Structure 1
Amino acid sequence: MSTSPISAAQPNASGQNSSARIIFASFIGTAIEFYDFYVYATAAALVIGPVFFPHGSATAQALSAFVTFGIAFIARPIGSFLFGHFGDRIGRKSTLVASLLVMGLSTTLIGLVPGYDSIGSLAPILLCILRFGQGIGLGGEWGGAALLATENAPAGKRGWFGMFPQLGPSIGFLASNGLFFGLALSLSDEQFRSWGWRVPFLVSAVLVVLGLYVRLKIAETPAFQAAIERKERVKVPIATLLSQHWRPTLLGALAMVVCYTLFYNATTFSLSYGVSVLHIPRPTFLGMLCIAVVFMALATPLSAWASDRYGRKPVLIAGIIAAILSGFTMAPLLGSGQTPLVLLFLVIELFLMGVTFAPMGALLPELFPTNVRYTGAGVSYNLGGILGASVAPYIAQVLAAHGGLSWVGAYVSIAAAVSMIGVLCMRETRDTRLM
């Protein structure tokens, strides 16, 4: 059981997992993984449609690009099943290395796929396959990184240690968006559409080598080693999870919806809408996103600290209430088209993303016992992605076209309310001991 009185603060048998090494290994992996993922999200908003889908309508191109964006979110739960199985059966370390390889290879190859003009319908087919591979890799990444941090955390600091994988997305997004921003400033539109958009995908190969170097030097977590010694591993973790732990899996997925909806509507949809409808220059909007994501990064440690001090649920409830209210700001702020107001909207949404996202690094692992923790945390996290992110930009695009930004804002508020239900129905996990 996850409540047994064995602290994860004890050193592992090999003595290799120092706090600094654990923090860096859990952070660098998610930073690279989310860099890879956000590279595609940005490209989907800017260039994937025209390059791979030769529709006459710009709206049809955008919708097609966002469909391919959603494919990865369908793949992510499959990745969490696959890598979760091996993470709970074989170990956290080797599984994390494998997930990083799958993600990095898929991302790099996307940068090499010719466009529709070169190879016809084979281009979008290859794109969808590789996008699916991205989702498989990311599906196995987050759960392992969160476990690496939380299963090694000292008593009373699990929220703080679990925060470092949550910082990865902020840094990954900043690196991705910053690179696109630099390309937008230095290249013409023709150069960017022709080859410039491929550069961030190819850079991923270098980052993956760095991530692998760090991950290969970590040791297994003490909680997993203890489970091996007690012979507690189960043969099919997903079967045990669904038969015995389906309720926390569902509640964890519902709790994640607000994080995904806030982020992808504030970035992918807003970027597409701002450039194509509001006619804000692409470099300007990318620059605003770079500023706004800094506030997401600042909110992450503050929220993690508060979750250790006051509990996971109080912090999440406060953040979700603010997220519900933030939906009403979309039309007046983003819809104004004025740079200061658009920036304020982006800052609000991404700050609240940081507030609601940070506690998840500890909360989701705390919901499950060791023998299904990798699978359970990963499945909850990625099912939340299907509910909150896979179709979020697509739905937002359709709502904006038919009802305007006020409808999109209502969608954000409703998604946040769904997460509120999940959080209110789950137990407080701050004092749970991992073993």
Structure 2
Amino acid sequence: MTSSYNQGLPNSAELERDARLANADHHAVSPGEIAIGVVIGRMSEFFDFFVYAIASVLVFPRFLFPDTDATVAMLYSFALFSLAFIARPLGSSLFMALDRRHGRGVKLTVALFLLGGSTAAISMLPAPEVFGAATIVLLGLARFAQGLALGGAWDGLASLLALNAPQKRRGWYAMVPQLGAPLGFLLAAGLFAFLVSSLPEADFQSWGWRYPFFVAFTINVVALFARLRLVATREFAALLQRDELQPAHISDVVTVSGRNLVVGAFVPLACFALFHLVTVFPLAWIALRTDRGIAEFLMVQAAGAAIMLLTVILSGWIADRIGRRRLLAGGAVLIGGFAFLGPFLLSQGSSGHTSFVLLGFALLGLSFGQASGAVASNFARRFRYTGAALTSDIAWLVGAGFAPLVVLALSQWLGLAAVGGYLLSGVICTLLALATNRQMQMEIRDQ
């Protein structure tokens, strides 16, 4: 190993250097190998995400607020759910500083152990009967820590994959990281469905719900090594040296590319608004308003996630033929149509609930498959890595972080029409952002 190669990441940790040495004599990493690492990493993050999301409906309202009205308890639970999205931008800022000082390997190791550790800590929450309100505080702290970790888990592998993708297949490779969402939901929903159907209600509420949180730590360790192997490759170091994936100062990115941040965050709002309206909200609606079996409905949602997996893949094929912008705009229009149909379906009993979930997941996959990094090319090379991370954080915060809380509250006061209104607001934001981004790119070309 020559000293010139080691200069690629002068502040890297020993773990990262050892991974690089282990890969030194191997062939160059292909886009396919990068894709596998990206999918594993994203799947582990979304598994953590959905384990908490499902528990925020099935467990925490009763566990934390047993003497409160069921709907109010659910709203309290969704307020805690939002804490992670508030913490994500702060996590990105803190971990970018850690990246600049000590390297990507240290950053990922700390972030993923924090994510797995905070998730495992939730599995060991003491009963409120013993600790009282302190249990709520502990859960809030753990949820906030999850958000910090998710902000720090941004590794740049999706950018590495895109930059190594063939020219005419960029849409195909752009959808690969998005496969982690349906895969993570399938795993989380399937595990909860098994526990709910296999355990007596008292056992599930007492200890059964804790198991998925504990499992998440193990999954994160596996994902950590998969991602570190790729972070330590020659390709990744070369991109760092060309300033494609260097962590920039947040203040510099905001000062120079603040407009790109705002536009980029609003581009995926249509699908992000839909994201929680087919995963978290319908599960809450079933639990609060119907007597339908929870395990059976979770399996319906798992089937929806399988459909989403297919439509995410389909989005890559379509985007390579008509372009990402047209696909995102078309997807937003379809979601707009669903905004009118969805409330009607939710009011039609079990068959309507099932149709809402399956159709919603299908539309979500088409848009979500191309939502990541929709305007990343607008950022200057030295700001692309940090800009993409902040854009994602802001988009999740604005589009999805408060969706279960807001929609459940509005539907309680205004009826199911509020679901459609919320979706329409996201559609309008997406279409305006796409139009603004197109104008920005035309101005850049004219300069």
Does the TM-score normalized on the shorter chain lie above 0.5? yes
Instruction: Give 2:428's aligned residue.
Output: 417
The farther-off stretch of 147-156 and 181-190 is 147-156
1:101/1:31 CA distance change after superposition, 3 Å = same
Shift in Å at residue 15 of structure 1?
5.0
Shift in Å at residue 162 of structure 1?
2.4
The farther-off stretch of 390-399 and 100-109 is 100-109
Matches within 5 A, 1:56-71: 56-71=68-83
Instruction: Give 1:214's aligned residue.
Output: 226
Please state if 1:52 is matched with 2:61.
no
The question of whether the paired residues in 2 share the 8 Å contact of 1:92 and 1:148 is answered with no
Q: Tell me the distance in 2 between the aligned counterparts of 1:253 and 1:293.
A: 24
The farther-off stretch of 56-65 and 362-371 is 362-371
Instruction: Give 2:151's aligned residue.
Output: 139
Q: Tell me the distance in 1 between the aligned counterparts of 2:383 and 2:47.
A: 28
Larger relative contact order (CA 8 Å, sep ≥ 6)? 1
SS at match of 2:306: helix
Instruction: Give 2:93's aligned residue.
Output: 81
Q: Tell me the distance in 2 between the aligned counterparts of 1:303 and 1:294.
A: 14
Instruction: Give 2:206's aligned residue.
Output: 194
Instruction: Spell out, residue by residue over 1:136-169, the C-alpha distance to the aligned partner (whole angstroms, 9 max, x if none).
Output: 1222335634223223323332322222210001
1:365/1:102 CA distance change after superposition, 3 Å = farther
Matches within 5 A, 1:318-337: 318-337=330-349
1:139/1:229 CA distance change after superposition, 3 Å = closer
The question of whether the paired residues in 2 share the 8 Å contact of 1:25 and 1:218 is answered with yes
Give the count of matched residue pairs.
418
Please state if 1:378 is matched with 2:389.
yes
Give the RMSD, CA atoms, in angstroms: 2.5
Q: Tell me the distance in 1 between the aligned counterparts of 2:308 and 2:126.
A: 35
Of 88, 93, 100, the residue aligned with 2:112 is 100
Instruction: Give 2:437's aligned residue.
Output: 426
Please state if 1:114 is matched with 2:126.
yes
Matches within 5 A, 1:133-282: 133-142=145-154, 144-220=156-232, 225-226=237-238, 228-229=240-241, 236-282=248-294
The question of whether the paired residues in 2 share the 8 Å contact of 1:275 and 1:285 is answered with no
The letter of the residue matching 2:130 is S
In the superposition, the TM-score normalised over structure 1's length comes to 0.89
Which of the pair has more CA radius of gyration? 2
1:89/1:21 CA distance change after superposition, 3 Å = farther
SS at match of 1:149: helix
Structure 1 stretches lacking a partner, 5+ long:
1-11
Q: Tell me the distance in 2 between the aligned counterparts of 1:99 and 1:156.
A: 34
The letter of the residue matching 2:371 is M
Identity %: 34
Q: Tell me the distance in 2 between the aligned counterparts of 1:145 and 1:120.
A: 43
Instruction: Spell out, residue by residue over 1:408-434, the C-alpha distance to the aligned partner (whole angstroms, 9 max, x if none).
Output: 2221122221122112211398xx9xx
Shift in Å at residue 104 of structure 1?
1.3
Please state if 1:307 is matched with 2:319.
yes
In the superposition, the TM-score normalised over structure 2's length comes to 0.87
Instruction: Give 1:354's aligned residue.
Output: 365
Instruction: Spell out, residue by residue over 1:306-335, the C-alpha distance to the aligned partner (whole angstroms, 9 max, x if none).
Output: 222322110000000001110112222112
Shift in Å at residue 25 of structure 1?
0.8
Instruction: Give 2:136's aligned residue.
Output: 124
Q: Tell me the distance in 1 between the aligned counterparts of 2:283 and 2:411.
A: 13
The question of whether the paired residues in 1 share the 8 Å contact of 2:188 and 2:212 is answered with yes
The letter of the residue matching 1:65 is S
